[in-house]
Structures are given as C-alpha cells and as structure tokens.
Amino acid sequence: MYSKILIPIAPDHLGHVAAALELAEVLRAKDGKIILMSAIEAAPAHMQSHMPDDYLIKEKAEAVAKLQKDADGHGNTEVMVVTGKPSGSILEHAKLTNSDCIIIGSHKPDYMDYFIGSTAARVVRHAQCSVHVIR
C-alpha cells in the first residue's frame, strides 16, 4: 500500500481520471493521501504579448475547479496546479511531496511520440518511485 499517490491529470481532462482514482483507492494505505495534479504550460514568449495579462491565473483557477470536482468523494485528497512542462513538473512534485507512487494515464502513441516521447514514457523512465500506467 502507498502513503502518497500522485495522479497527474491533463488540464483538458482527456483521459483516465475515474480509472486512476479507482486504482488509487485500491492502492492507497489506510491513512494515505491522493494528490491530483495538473501542469499548465505558459504560452510561448512570442505569443504572450497577444494573451490577456491574467490568462494563466484563469487557466489555473479552471484547472483547480475541475480537479476539486474530481476529488469529491475520495477522502484524503489534495489538489494542486503548477506551471511548467508536464513531465518535469510531475517528477519534481513527486519528489517534493514524497510521493511513493504515480498513477498516470497513457494514450496510444502517435508518430510525434516516437520523435519527442510521451509524458508518461518520460515519467516511467525517470521517476524515483513506483509508476502505474493505465490505458
């Protein structure tokens, strides 16, 4: 059983939220915690001048609201939204929160994944804790 389970969720919420939470409930220790996390990438520098000043604040608020809704009814669950590249943010926050398990969804790879790699693949390769990948 795991004491802290990190579940990264894409801000657009496509994917495996319900399945990841169901698995986390099974794998979580009696007093364990589930951490739902989204990483939001800032717009590229050349686009930022065309964006409203508060666009990132609004995106984070929307992501928090979605994660809170997903977390309802799942006991000891925390929600966090960070800014940064997804794979790096997931790995960094797994360390910062002392997570002993990451549950991450994966999709069927397309041709771009073969050139740049998928977020799930990077997390699996570099995580210092157990990783469960769901499809």
Domains in the chain: boundaries: 2-130
Is the predicted pLDDT of residue 115 greater than 70, yes or no? no
Output the six-digit token pair for 133: 């990948």
How confident is the model over 28-84, as pLDDT tens digits?
A: 999 999 999 999 987 777 777 777 778 888 989 999 999 999 999 898 999 999 999
- pLDDT of 113 reads 53
- pLDDT of 84 reads 92
- pLDDT of 51 reads 78
For residues 32, 78, 91, 131, the Cα torsion angle rounded to the nearest 10 degrees is 40
Class of domain 2-130: alpha beta
Query: Among 21-25, 40-44, 121-125, where is mean pLDDT lowest?
Result: 40-44
- pLDDT of 105 reads 87
How far apart, in whole angstroms, are the C-alpha atoms of residue 124 and residue 108? 16
First to last CA, the chain: 21
Q: Which residues of 71-94 are buried (b: 16+ CB within 10 A; e: fewer)?
A: beeeeebebbbbeeebbebbbebb
